Amino acid sequence: MQRRSAEQRRPLWQYAFFYSWLVLASVGPLADELRSGRPLWLPLVLIVALAVWYALWQVVRNPPTTRIPAVYLAGAGLLWLGLVAVETSFVLVGLVVFAPYCLQTLRVGVMVVVVAAGGWLLQRAAATGSVSWTDVVICALIAASGTAVVGYVSSLARVGAERKRLLDELEASQAARAAAERQAGVAAERQRLARDIHDTLAQGFTSIVMLLEAAEASLPAGDPARRHVAQALRSARDNLAESRRVVLALRPSQLGEGELLDALQRLAVRLREETGLHTDAVVTGTPRRLDPPVQTAILRVAQEALSNVRRHAAARHVSLTLSYIDDMVVLDVQDDGCGFDPRLVGAAAEQARGIGQSGMRERLEELGGTLAVESVPGEGTTVAATLPTHPAATEPAAPAPEEPAIGTTARRP
């Protein structure tokens, strides 16, 4: 059962009020019964039944304080009428039954005032044998003043409830504004990082590539230094491509208006043109608009998975499948490469997993998603990223410990 908030829980003083007033309101009538020689077992049974009925409904069941328990009031009212039928002095017990609910609704309060006034007249009639006009006037004055008090207190209760509602709305709007500001700050920081990487690392690698190409062109054909220059040039080009992919991941401008499938298809085309791999991207289910964080996470997983395919898989075919399933979206990246053994542990496992798995997993977990990787040596690898289409705004979760039995997107060369 979901725990209620502090505003919905019934205060302890209400329990104390009920039982203490029940005892006080019953002492006098029971004493009258004892002096008159009438048996006490019937009023005692009704009093105990009323106490047990209250405990079952208000203590054990503990319904929300925002609703008036009609079933409880009906049962308690019948027990109270039984006590009044036995001895009219028990009319004061009605206060313990109805008073806690007089302040919530003016209608209930007026009803309690009318019942109490009628009970007072009934008690006067039983005590004196008749009801005078003076008693009627007094009863009317009591009912009028009681109605005024109930109306005033209920208006205060309504003002308090309205104030609480406004405070809740204010807190909700402040939380939404804080979440929006946090997302805007994250986006601005990602833009800044993308700019810095593009203006420093990417430009530096570009200059290195150009200088190494010039050096390679100036060396004689049989010069032994050409081999080292070629290796350095290949490493610089690889790192330039990696820096560009990082920039695209931080600032995925290719998403445009949310066309995630087009972005995945462009990734597939680029991989096919650069490596010659047979690559395709397909979609299943009914496409629908995804939140920008979900689009970015899926694109980042696809980039990292294809990067590992390029570097380690030695595959001939790669397929990207974007599936829309109910309120989830799933990206599958499957290749027919060399695969790896998911039972590897230690340094071999780290080499097989690569450094990209933890980043992908953390990115997905921040949005309530999961990352699953399956691989068999010699039969390829499948990476499955699952995300809710509309994730709740949550704080980034701590990374879960990695299990040795689960593979990842990077493979052993």
Chunked into runs of 10 residues, the chain (413 residues) has average pLDDT values of: 45 72 79 79 87 80 65 82 77 71 65 71 71 76 71 73 87 87 81 79 84 87 84 83 75 54 82 83 84 82 84 84 89 86 53 61 86 86 88 45 35 32
Please give the pLDDT value at position 385.
92
Alpha helices for 6-40 (secondary structure H): 12-36
In this prediction the pTM is 0.41
290: left (phi over 0), alpha (psi -120 to 50) or beta: beta
Please give the pLDDT value at position 108.
66
Amino acid at 319: S
Query: Which run of H or of E encompasses 45?
Result: helix 41-54
Please give the pLDDT value at position 406.
33
Which residue, 224, 337, 229, is CA-closest to 278?
337
Which residue, 355, 357, 354, 352, is CA-closest to 412?
352
User: How does 259-286 read in b/e, with b if 16+ C-beta sit within 10 Å?
Assistant: ebeebbbebbeebeeeeebebebeeeee
Please give the pLDDT value at position 131.
74
412: left (phi over 0), alpha (psi -120 to 50) or beta: beta
Please give the pLDDT value at position 344.
59
d(CA 392, CA 409): 27
The values of phi and psi at residue 224, to 5°, are -65, -25
Please give the pLDDT value at position 332.
92
Please give the pLDDT value at position 330.
92
Cβ–Cβ contacts within 10 Å for residue 387, how many? 25
Query: Which run of H or of E encompasses 162?
Result: helix 133-197
Query: What are the CA-CA distances from residue 27 to residues 24, 45, 91, 138 (Å)?
Result: 6, 14, 13, 26
Contact 33, 43 (CB under 8 A): yes
Please give the pLDDT value at position 102.
62
- Domain 258-413: what homologous superfamily? Histidine kinase-like ATPase, C-terminal domain (3.30.565.10)
Residues with Cβ within 8 Å of residue 150, at least 6 apart in sequence: 102, 103, 106, 109, 110, 112, 113
Delimit the CATH 3.30.565.10 region(s) of the chain.
258-413
Residues with Cβ within 8 Å of residue 30, at least 6 apart in sequence: 40, 43, 44
